[in-house]
Structure 1
Amino acid sequence: MSPSSAIADIIAQDPVAVKQLRAVRELGLPDWCIAAGFVRNRVWDHLHGIFPPRAPVDIDVLYFDAGDVSPEREAAFERRLDGLLPGLPWQVRNQARMHVWKNVPPHRDTADSMTYWLETVTGIGVRLEADDTLTVVAPLGTDDLLNLRCRPTAYGRTRRHEYDARVEAKRWRELWPRVNFID
């Protein structure tokens, strides 16, 4: 089984995750996926034998639409998702505008935007296709996630204090004690 298939299989076994993916698919967003803790936490919970997986703090929905970069559009998508699955911590973000606050070059697409995240294990997303297959979006690869390693991305190394603070604040060492944190 390929690493992407292994991740897709873990997500597909979680009926809550699939339901959330179906809701996002209903929006018809361009170049979308649900990423970050949605994937990372489920995979690490699975690899630590934690069943059912813990609910994520937020559900990071990414998409790329250079034609409408308004925050109001993102809020409208969040309201639609709340109408489909009320009460969930939806966070919808158009990656076509995320480069501005990071002061980096404009992103080419959703996958490119994920290379500017702080750690490799967060830059992985999944998308539920029309035929109900899962596509894994992993511009930084999947090895660290599946091998219980956490390390900063090239971008994260330039912001090491932010990376270290994030790992500490999220309590990852406590929640997943088998993860090896690598410099």
Structure 2
Amino acid sequence: MDHEQSLKSLFQHDPNRWHLLDLVCALEIPDCWIGAGFVRNAVWDHLHGRPPSAPSGDVDVLWFDPDQVDPAIDRRMEWVLQEWAPGINWSVKNQARMHLRNGDAPYTSTADAMCHWPETATAVAVRRSASTPCEVLAPLGLEDLFAMVIRPTRHFALHKREVHEARVSNKGWLERWPLLRCVDND
């Protein structure tokens, strides 16, 4: 089974995450996914032989619509999702405006925004839709995620290396998942 099929299967057999994907699908917003730790942590737990667990930390909902960049729209979606799933820490962000916060050129899509995220293994998202039971968005590939490699994206390796290094240290990934390896882009 290839990595994409493995990821789809993992989510289809995780009732907690599958339900959250259904809720986000019900929002019916453009180019919308759940990504980052929601995906990464589930895969790393699985590869460490742990059963599916409830998502911890933020559940990052990312979408893209350059005509709806008001942050109040994101807050309204968070409120709706909080009503539907009260125990979840929802974080909804329209990637069409996130370049401003990050000091980058404007992004052209959710996938383009993810290429500017800190780690390759974090730049993965999934979604459900009316036409697809489970779809994967991995503009930087799935190899590092499944190889349990923490590697800065090219953008962070070139321009924000200290941010990447601080994340690895502060998030405690190497303690939580001892089989992980840090790899540099040099």
Question: Does the TM-score normalized on the shorter chain lie above 0.5?
Answer: yes
Partner of 2:4: 4
Is the counterpart of residue 85 in structure 1 residue 88 in structure 2? no
- RMSD of the alignment, in Å? 1.0
Partner of 2:164: 163
1:46-76: CA deviations, max 9, x gaps? 0001113353211000000111101100000
Partner of 1:181: 182
In structure 2, what residue type is equivalent to 1:161? E
Deviation at 1:87, TM superposition (A): 2.6
* Runs of 4+ off more than 6 Å: none
The answer (yes or no) to whether the contact 1:32–1:64 under 8 Å persists in 2 is yes
3-state SS, counterpart of residue 118 of structure 1? coil
Structure 2 length-normalised TM: 0.95
In structure 1, what residue type is equivalent to 2:145? L
| Percentage of identical aligned residues | 41
The answer (yes or no) to whether the contact 1:116–1:156 under 8 Å persists in 2 is yes
Uncovered stretches (5+) of structure 1, i.e. residues with no partner: none
Partner of 1:64: 64
Partner of 1:144: 144
The answer (yes or no) to whether the contact 1:66–1:96 under 8 Å persists in 2 is yes
The answer (yes or no) to whether the contact 1:46–1:53 under 8 Å persists in 2 is no
The answer (yes or no) to whether the contact 1:74–1:92 under 8 Å persists in 2 is yes
Partner of 1:27: 27
In structure 2, what residue type is equivalent to 1:135? E
3-state SS, counterpart of residue 72 of structure 2? helix
Deviation at 1:174, TM superposition (A): 0.3
For 1:79 and 1:181, locate their aligned partners in 2 and report how far apart those are by CA, in whole Å: 37
The answer (yes or no) to whether the contact 2:120–2:151 under 8 Å persists in 1 is yes
Partner of 1:102: 102
In structure 2, what residue type is equivalent to 1:80? V
Residues paired across the two proteins, number: 183
